[in-house]
């Protein structure tokens, strides 16, 4: 995993050491911490996290607190609902219906039905169940460094979990065009050809094609945003073969890309199922599958689905408050404007520091790729990791991603302002200047 604490606690403060010791005694070894020196957090507000000593960290990484940490409107709506009612969906409750109407109005009309879950993993898992039941086929195509979640079925389509996580025989991985190294004008065609080959392979394996699932911003594949529309011919190929297109909007969804509510609309494609998650309740667990009638109908009638906490009134109150804030504070336009400014600033830094080979992204989903040199373009994970940790020490939180873990992933809460973007750009410039000086000494 990129940016994981490696267990070396020699240089840590005694309080941090002691917390890590207590933590390791009770949490399973499944848990990982971020950073060479893990960050101990006690409070957060807006785009800032604070540690016990009052040091503040600019949050340039977390997409869950989409409308900002500890947002008062979300808090208030949750508290009002906690005073009144929190139950399940086998009783009738009006706010669930009203929120569903509001959410569906943000989608193309053919995406007309919702099922709520608690996590993106559960939503992905359900979308796979639905697609496999409806098509009668078992095969799933995903991208070769995808992350879609942690249930058994979702992990099976999450090769980014590493070599010990088994990818089953019903899953085919396809490589994503590299928007830095490959010809962008050929990306759509090349990817569609790979998808067609994968469909043929599923046929040969006798499992058929149930669905292809793609994160509409290709986050784990290194944030491959351009050119807009490059996914569409692959989706056409999937539909022609009788499969479903599952748009994983857990990361790009709810306005982060600054081009509307969902990432798939940038690509002009028509998903059968859309998976929502992380930012949906600003941290209160809620996620969903949105789908066409055709996709959802038979599974729903034949099997049913009940998620005890899914769509409960408190989660719905949080989700409704999130939509309020995104709309009232015009956060999609903000993501577009501040994201553009951030990318522009990073491009200027890249001109001074050729170790940044490529800056890309869309809205407030921004990537900067580190390479050994701009001609050879070989991935430089060591510099990416050093930069992530140097920025942490200067009070800015980001992380790295991509197949080679050499891509800075900058993905802040949506109320990120121009001054915050400038602060990231300046700090990165300083870090790289210091590194260059060190190297030349």
User: Looking at beta carbons only, is 156 or 369 nearer to a second copy?
Assistant: 156
Pairwise CA distance, residues 327 & 198, whole Å:
40
Report the DSSP pairing between strands 56-59 and 396-397. parallel
Task: Please give the Cα distance from 248 to 275 (Å, whole number).
Answer: 5
For the residues of 403-441, what is the DSSP string, one character each? TTS-EEEE---TT--HHHHHHHHHHHHHHHHHHHHHHH-
Residue 129 CB, nearest approach to a second copy (Å): 5
Query: How does DSSP assign 193-231, residue by residue?
Result: HHHHHHHHHHHHHT--EEEEEEETT-TTTT----STTTT
CB 38 to a second copy: min, Å: 5
Exposure string for 268-284, b = 16+ CB within 10 A, e = fewer: ebbbbbbbbbbbbbbbb
Burial (Cβ within 10 Å: 0-12, 13-18, ≥19) of residue 403: middle
Which residue, 279 or 345, is less far from a second copy as judged by CB?
279
Instruction: Tell me how far, at minimum, the Cβ of 28 lies from a second copy, in Å.
Output: 4
Provide the residue count of the chain: 441
User: Of 162 and 376, which has the nearer Cβ to a second copy?
Assistant: 162
**Residue 213 and residue 124 in contact, taking contact as beta carbons nearer than 8 Å:** yes
Q: For a second copy, which is the closer residue by CB, 315 or 334?
A: 315
Listed in order, strand segments (DSSP E) in 326-371 are: 356-362, 365-370
Least distance in Å: CB of 59 to a second copy?
A: 9
Q: How far is the CB of 36 from a second copy (least distance, A)?
A: 13
Which residues lie closer than 8 Å to 46 by C-beta, 6 or more apart? Answer: 68, 69, 70, 413, 415
Least Å from the CB of residue 419 to a second copy: 23
Distance of closest approach, residue 397 Cβ to a second copy, in angstroms: 9
Name the nearest CA neighbour of 419 among 326, 347, 337. Answer: 337
Q: Are strands 396-397 and 209-215 parallel, antiparallel or unpaired?
A: unpaired
Of 8 and 164, nearer to a second copy (C-beta) is 164
Two structure tokens written together for 18: 């002691």
Least distance to a second copy, CB of residue 67, Å? 12
Minimum CB–partner distance for residue 40 and a second copy (Å): 4
- Say whether 369 sits in a helix, a strand or coil: strand
Residue whose CB is less far from a second copy, 149 or 255: 149
Q: With respect to a second copy, which residue has the nearer C-beta, 138 or 267?
A: 138
Can you state the angle between helices 120-135 and 293-302, rounded to 10 degrees? Answer: 90
Distance CA 356, CA 181 (A): 14
Asked if residue 2 lies in contact with residue 385, where contact means CB atoms within 8 angstroms, the answer is yes
Non-local (6+) Cβ contacts of 374 within 8 A are: 354, 357
Nearer to a second copy, 259 or 399 (CB): 399
Nearer to a second copy, 164 or 204 (CB): 164
For the bound state, the minimum distance from the C-beta of residue 413 to a second copy, rounded and expressed in Å, comes to 11
Of 32 and 205, the one with the shorter C-beta distance to a second copy is 32
Which position has the token pair 């494609």? 269
């Amino acid at each position: 995993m990129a940016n994981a604490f490696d267990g070396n606690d020699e240089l840590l403060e005694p309080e941090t050491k002691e917390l890590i010791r207590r933590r390791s005694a009770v949490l399973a070894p499944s848990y990982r911490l971020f950073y060479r020196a893990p960050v101990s957090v006690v409070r957060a507000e807006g785009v800032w996290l604070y540690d016990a000593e009052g040091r503040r960290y600019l949050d340039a990484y977390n997409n869950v607190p989409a409308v900002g940490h500890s947002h008062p409107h979300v808090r208030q709506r949750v508290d009002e609902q906690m005073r009144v009612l929190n139950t399940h969906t086998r009783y009738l409750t009006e706010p669930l219906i009203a929120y569903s109407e509001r959410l569906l109005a943000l989608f193309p009309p053919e995406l007309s039905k919702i099922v709520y879950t608690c996590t993106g993993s559960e939503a992905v898992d359900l979308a796979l169940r639905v697609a496999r039941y409806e098509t009668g086929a078992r095969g799933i195509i995903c991208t070769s460094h995808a992350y879609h979640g942690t249930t058994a079925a979702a992990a099976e389509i999450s090769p980014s979990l590493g070599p010990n996580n088994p990818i089953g025989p019903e899953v085919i991985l396809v490589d994503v065009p590299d928007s830095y190294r490959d010809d962008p004008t050929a990306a759509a065609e090349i990817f569609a050809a790979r998808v067609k080959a994968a469909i043929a392979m599923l046929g040969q394996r006798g499992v058929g094609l149930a669905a292809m699932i793609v994160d509409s911003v290709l986050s784990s594949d290194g944030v491959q945003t351009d050119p807009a529309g490059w996914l569409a011919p692959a989706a056409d190929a999937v539909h022609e073969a009788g499969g479903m297109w599952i748009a994983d909007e857990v990361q790009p969804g709810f306005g982060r890309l600054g081009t509307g509510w969902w990432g798939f609309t940038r690509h002009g494609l028509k998903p059968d199922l859309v998976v929502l998650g992380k930012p949906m309740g600003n941290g209160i667990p809620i996620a969903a599958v949105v789908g066409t009638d055709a996709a959802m109908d038979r599974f729903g009638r034949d099997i049913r689905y009940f998620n005890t906490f899914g769509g409960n009134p408190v989660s719905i109150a949080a989700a409704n408050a999130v939509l309020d804030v995104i709309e009232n504070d015009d956060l999609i336009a903000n993501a577009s404007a501040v994201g553009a400014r951030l990318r522009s600033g990073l491009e200027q830094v890249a001109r001074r520091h050729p170790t940044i080979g490529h800056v890309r992204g869309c809205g407030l989903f921004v990537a900067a790729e580190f390479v050994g040199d701009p001609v050879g373009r070989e991935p430089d994970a060591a510099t990416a990791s050093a930069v992530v940790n140097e920025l942490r020490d200067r009070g800015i939180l980001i992380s790295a991603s991509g197949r080679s873990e050499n891509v800075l992933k900058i993905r802040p809460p949506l109320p990120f302002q121009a001054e915050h973007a400038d602060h990231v750009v300046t700090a990165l410039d300083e870090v790289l200047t210091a590194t260059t000086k060190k190297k030349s000494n």
